[in-house]
Amino acid sequence: MQKSQSRLLELDFFRGLVLLIIVVDHIGGSILSRVTLHAYALCDAAEVFVFLGGFATATAYAALAERRNEATARSRFLRRSLEIYRAFLITAGLMLLVSAVLSAFSIDGPNLATTDLDDLMDTPVAALRDILLLRRQPYLASVLPMYVFFALLVPMILPLARSKPWLLLAGSVALWAGAPAIDAYLPAAPDMHWDFNPFAWQLLFVLGVLARCQPVHQRISAHRLGWLVSVLAFAVVAAAACYKLFIEREPLDASFKQNLSYLRAVNFLAIAWLVANLIQLGWARKLAQWMPWVGMIGRKGLLCFIAGAVISLIVDSVLYAATDGYLNYPLGLVADACAVGALFAVAKASEPLKRFATRLWNLRLRTSP
């Protein structure tokens, strides 16, 4: 992946596409989710989301450091960690609120945060404290705490990615290897756990940073034997697809995802390599130009993630209640259309609403005594 700004269009496109996939993947009766990444691979959209997060972070850091200076870039990402923490609190609160409202209307979806709601009613101070301290992570808010961790590490990761990439990679791999043992020390309330172990998932974030800072793909593909890497990547992707489609159709153990199993990581890296080939050929850019609305969603990443969590929980619960949990193709397609349309509407409306709020604020400042 190149360092030029020409790749930003593809980046926004893939981020938007992943956010859309995350929304439908969390709708149990979705029809689109039957053909998304998890159906054919040992990994899913989460790996893509984290890798692209690292790539986008390196892009933003480099641009800010070039436009201003390194100190400004470091300060910006320390503030970014607070923004992500705030987004976690908002998402957690919305998960609880939506679950409470749906339960009040007797819509008992399979993924409502009922346990968290019960604990909040029984011991409100302890439950709120646990959420504030990341010890409790209500449904779909659980991916954000590790991003707080990543943002705090950015000022250390980015200089190493540019000057000592092999040292950074070695340290990341070592931390990933020891992550399952460290998991027990993550703050968690009784009978709770982190769905994403940040010490494991940092590997993909770091790889995303390295892909942006170092021309790894260009150097390997330019080698006379570089084509062998593409052949190997295709073989890994094909083998994983055969395994998922014909051998093991049931979901893998949750710990495989929690601690980023090497099977998931290798499968994702093989897919990423093949996609990088498509980017180099220009296909991804043509898709991004053909579907600019997907890129618009990608540019509103944090907002659309929060909105997507709410949308998927509501649509999943309503669809489950309407179908009694059985697969219904017409209703499933309607649910997919509603979810995708709602996320697009959020992304589309965000800028006009932001401008309107800014005008109101400026007007208030001018009229205040």
Percent of the chain with pLDDT over 90: 77
CA distance 314 to 294: 22
Q: Which element (helix H / strand E) includes 29?
A: none
| Cα 128 to Cα 91, 132, 193, distances in angstroms | 14, 6, 16
Q: Can you tell me the mean pLDDT for 224-243?
A: 94
pLDDT at 1: 42
Residue 222: CB atoms within 10 A of its CB come to 9
Q: Is residue 346 helix, strand or coil?
A: helix
Q: Where are the domains of the chain?
A: 5-367
Q: Give the pLDDT confidence score for residue 362 in this predicted structure.
A: 63
111-128 per-position pLDDT tens digit? 999 999 999 999 999 999
pLDDT of 2 above 50: no
pLDDT at 4: 42
On the question of pLDDT at 364 being above 80, the answer is no
Tell me how far apart the 2 most distant CA atoms of the chain are, in Å. 72
* Residue 242 confidence class, pLDDT cut points 50, 70, 90: very high
pLDDT score recorded for residue 141: 94
95: left (phi over 0), alpha (psi -120 to 50) or beta: alpha
Q: Does the pLDDT value for residue 68 go beyond 80?
A: yes
Q: Map residue 44 onto helix, strand or coil.
A: coil
Q: Is it the case that residue 358 has pLDDT exceeding 70?
A: no
Could you please report the per-residue DSSP string of 265-299?
Answer: HHHHHHHHHHHHHHHHHTHHHHHHHH-HHHHHHHH
* pLDDT for the residue numbered 124: 95
In the predicted model, what is the mean pLDDT of the chain? 91
> What pLDDT does residue 6 have?
42
> Do 19 and 50 touch, CB atoms closer than 8 A?
no
- Would you say residue 132 has pLDDT above 90? yes
Give pLDDT tens digits for 253-299: 888 999 999 999 999 999 999 999 999 989 989 999 999 999 999 99
Query: Could you read off the pLDDT of 197-214 as tens digits, one per residue?
Result: 999 999 999 999 999 999
Residue 365 pLDDT > 60 = no
pLDDT at 31: 97
